[in-house]
Amino acid sequence: MEPAKIIEHSGGVIGVSWLLIALPLLGAAFLLLGGRKTDKFGHLLGVATAVASFVVGVLVFLQLLGFDPAERRRAVPLYDFIPGLTKMGLLVDPLSISFVLLITGVGSLIHIYSIGYMAHDPNRRRFFAYLNLFVAAMLLLVLADNYIGLYVGWEGVGLASYLLIGFWQHKPSAATAAKKAFIVNRVGDFGLAIAIFTIFTAFNTVSFAGVMESGADPSQGTLTAIGLLLLLGACGKSAQLPLQSWLLDAMEGPTPVSALIHAATMVTAGVYLVTRSGAMFFPEGSTAAIAVTIVGVATLLAGAIIGTAKDDIKKALAGSTMSQIGYMMLAAGIGPAGYAFAIAHLITHGFFKADMFLGAGSVMHGMNDEVDMRKYGGLRKVMPITFATFLVGYLAIIGFPLLSGYFTKDGIIESAMEYSSTLGWLAVLGAGITGFYMSRLVFMTFFGKKRWEADAHPHESPAVMTWPLIILSVGSIFLGGFLIVGNRFMTFLGPAVGQPEHLPSFHPFSVPGLVTLALVAAGAALAWFKYGAAEVPVTAPRGSFLTTFARRDLYGDALNEALFMRPGQWLTRLAVFFDNRGIDGLVNGIAAGIGGTSGRLRRVQTGFVRSYALSIFIGAAILVGAWFVVGNL
């Protein structure tokens, strides 16, 4: 089934859905411009705008549900954005509203959590201003009805991500990580920008509706080029291979940032981009769509392998995020059969990964900001709520039966299996590795003997931090089943992105599903023997070549350095050399030449009048002689 037509809409809550973006944006502006005067209540205002935005989002969602499914794509025109090029408007449809609810819902919970987490930070107000800025930009990204509006939001979240990764800018590592994220994202954003230029050249419009209905018939090559360029943009924002290297360093930011931006929302923008452009630029079986699936599978394996070797709890979770987004990309590349699973996994992942990141933050909060899991151990007794909620997130992500991740990840694996058995089995393998590294993380943190530093006095976090965890873990339990069983989400999303002719039915005991469960169980058992039952050394053992390989992020940084950084430095040095010796040499040489010649030439001015007379005489003689010669010709 093709996506439904977009209908112009006015009135009702949908008519004022720009409030979704305006509220957090105003919050950010007020907190940033208000300065230190707003320190006292800044965090409360930040939470209030996020929650208000969530309330508006729910109302919009309810009004949208009131329409016939085929009429659920509503365009809300706002103003003439760039006259002659595009109008600005919002597109409220099942796809964007799913994102809106995730961003504002999980976003609000993370805002609330941050009140406790950032309680002792003197810059808490600025933190909330940036968080609000992020929420506004992310909502613009998913609500804009054209690619340029999307791009503005895209850059906005990049900016917010940069500001928040480098929030503790007094730490050189944080400042460097922020810069790295920004620069790597630039590569992807460059691809997205070129893609939008090409779209405008090919279709003479940049709005989603315009591209769908333009009637222009660009060549297959153009469509593939646009698709691949969009994929490059998606890779940058979603930390997919080959632009994955920034995400692990991005963990330098405060933990709520890692949860909101680098797990639940911003990094999924690439999946949104692919899904939103899917019908047009990633049709089933096209080169671009195949590229998306390959990138997805490569990243889901790479992320999982990185996750197995990290001792830093946040970096292990970041590897896991990469891996899970790889699953979403894989599903998004499959086409209409996969879109619903991609977005459903995105939403459930938003819940259980935010749950685990906030849980990790809660652990760090109680452990003097220690991130090395080798110095945790046995925390389940002192942090019961954190442990329970983390356990739920853990079971959800490894796909424990009947929890959220079980349904959504299984959906992805099943549809990948149908699409290509190679990709399907690789996804199953990834799920097995997920079972290992997540179990390792849980066992090292919450089980085993205490390996705490002498001055660590772990304690349970305050209620303002534990309640968001509890709510997120409830979502992690039930959301997946609610969305997937009976194809509820697929039929909801269908009008926005298209859906397959035959709706898939859920088989609880299919072969791939059982193999996945077996592999996950094996991975968890292996982790138990190595990290649960056995003693975990406080200093990391050297490990084999493979361990080093995974610890060094599969040599991603080394590769980037060898391929881009060093040649870039050589190029710079060459340019400097050329500038100093070549350009400067030429300019200075001309100047020196003229100066030297003049210095010698002025010696002719001796001051002796008679020598001047002689030169006049010689000149006159030459002139007369020349005149004779010419005259006689």
Partner 1 sequence: MTTHYLVLSALLFVIGGVGVLVRRNAIVVFMCVELMLNACNLAFVTFARQNGNLDGQVIAFFVMIVAAAEVVIGLAIIVTIFRTRRSASVDDVNLLKY
Contact residues for partner 1, defined by CB under 8 A: 602-610, 613-614, 617
Q: Which is nearer to partner 1, 84 or 607 (CB)?
A: 607
Q: Which is nearer to partner 1, 542 or 602 (CB)?
A: 602
Residue with tokens 């084999």, as numbered in its chain: 544
Say how far apart CA 412 and CA 82 lie, in whole Å: 40
In the complex, the smallest distance separating the C-beta of residue 617 from partner 1, rounded to whole angstroms, is: 7
Q: Which is nearer to partner 1, 204 or 597 (CB)?
A: 597
Residue with tokens 């999924």, as numbered in its chain: 268
156 CA to centre of own chain? 12
Reduced to 3 states, what is the DSSP secondary structure of residue 402? coil
Q: Assess contact for 168 and 120: CB atoms under 8 A.
A: no
In the complex, the smallest distance separating the C-beta of residue 616 from partner 1, rounded to whole angstroms, is: 9
Residue 166 amino acid letter: G
In the complex, the smallest distance separating the C-beta of residue 619 from partner 1, rounded to whole angstroms, is: 13
Closest CA to 119 of 362, 315, 455: 362
Q: Which is nearer to partner 1, 601 or 630 (CB)?
A: 601
In the complex, the smallest distance separating the C-beta of residue 604 from partner 1, rounded to whole angstroms, is: 8
In the complex, the smallest distance separating the C-beta of residue 179 from partner 1, rounded to whole angstroms, is: 58
Closest CA to 243 of 548, 564, 549, 551: 564
345 CA to centre of own chain? 16
In the complex, the smallest distance separating the C-beta of residue 603 from partner 1, rounded to whole angstroms, is: 6
Q: Which is nearer to partner 1, 221 or 607 (CB)?
A: 607
Q: Where are the beta strands (DSSP E) in 368-514?
A: none
In the complex, the smallest distance separating the C-beta of residue 594 from partner 1, rounded to whole angstroms, is: 16
Q: Assess contact for 343 and 411: CB atoms under 8 A.
A: no
Q: Which is nearer to partner 1, 534 or 621 (CB)?
A: 621
Q: Which is nearer to partner 1, 449 or 610 (CB)?
A: 610
Burial-class residue 203 by CB neighbours within 10 Å (0-12, 13-18, 19+).
buried
Say how far apart CA 3 and CA 495 lie, in whole Å: 5
Q: Which is nearer to partner 1, 604 or 629 (CB)?
A: 604
Say how far apart CA 300 and CA 304 lie, in whole Å: 6
Angle between helix 42-65 and helix 94-117 axes, rounded to 10 deg: 160
Closest CA to 485 of 510, 509, 505: 505
In the complex, the smallest distance separating the C-beta of residue 593 from partner 1, rounded to whole angstroms, is: 19
